[in-house]
Structure 1
Amino acid sequence: MQVEEVKVESKGAFEAPEVNAFGQTFRDYSNVESERQKSVEEFYRLNHISQSVDFVKKMREDYTKFNRTEMSIWECCELLNQVVDESDPDLDEPQIQHLLQSAEAARKRLS
């Protein structure tokens, strides 16, 4: 398999499409008073407060033992489908949809 070189022309900024694969608009944080905006800001505020070198070392120690459970890839996908990402505006769409879209895009790109 050979990966072809991709040339990206940029006008200095990332240009996102107007809508996602589900036909919904992407993150719109122009209304800073919205509950959604407040929720996302609080999520990142708390995560940034907790982040430290010691915290990362502890999490690596706890989670790189791979001693918690054993499951198939599909079982893992189904488990991850239950995760709620508080920073994700597409809360109405199942995570597995995002996973499958990403996998399919990668497959097309690399085949």
Structure 2
Amino acid sequence: ELVLDAGFVVPQPHSFVAPQLNAFGLTFRDYEANGERQPGVENFYRTNHMYQCVDFVRRMREEYGKLNRGEMSIWECCELLNEVVDESDPDLDEPQIEHLLQTA
């Protein structure tokens, strides 16, 4: 049994039972599920990992690092993000701006 300094007992892996619902009463995302978007998500990551290299990063920094594409407020940037379709995200139930605000 592992006990932390504050007396908190860390459960052993065999005794830990994950909850079925999150704090909002919804089920957690099943990353193993084969939804209709799953093949596209897997292909997105496979392609990105195959072509990921230092040269590519340098080219992208050169192209986008100039910061000459436009000028906007933070909120305008958030609204622009909401128009983006994230091919790597299997969860399209929530708008991008909600994901942004949850992680901010």
Regarding TM over 0.5, the answer is: yes
Q: What is the CA deviation profile of residues 46-99 of structure 1, one whole-angstrom value per residue up to 9, with x for unaligned ones?
A: 111221111010001111110110001111000001111112122121111111
Q: Which runs of 5+ in 1 are unaligned?
A: 1-8, 104-111
Q: Which residue of 1 aligns with 2:32?
A: 30
Which residue of structure 1 aligns with residue 62 of structure 2? 61
1:72-111 to structure 2, matched below 5 A, reads: 72-103=73-104
**Are residues 82 and 20 of structure 1, via their aligned partners in 2, closer, same or farther at CA, if it must alter by over 3 Å?**
farther
Distance of 2:72 and 2:12 partners within structure 1: 45
Q: Please, what is the CA RMSD of the aligned residues? A: 2.8
Q: How many residues align?
A: 91
Identity value in percent = 60
Residue ranges of structure 2 left out of the alignment (5+ in a row) = 1-9
Under a length normalisation based on structure 2, what TM-score does the superposition of the two structures give? 0.69
Pairwise CA distance, 1:37 = 2.2
Question: Which of the pair has more CA radius of gyration?
Answer: 2
Separation in structure 1 between the aligned mates of residue 69 and residue 22 of structure 2, nearest angstrom: 38
The residue type paired with residue 23 of structure 1 is: L
Task: Answer 1 or 2: higher relative contact order, Cα 8 Å, separation at least 6.
Answer: 1
Q: Decide whether aligned partners of structure 1 residues 100 and 39 sit closer, same or farther in structure 2, where only a CA change above 3 A counts.
A: same
1:20 and 1:46, CA in 2 relative to 1: closer, same or farther beyond 3 A? farther
Give the letter aligned to residue 30 of structure 1: E
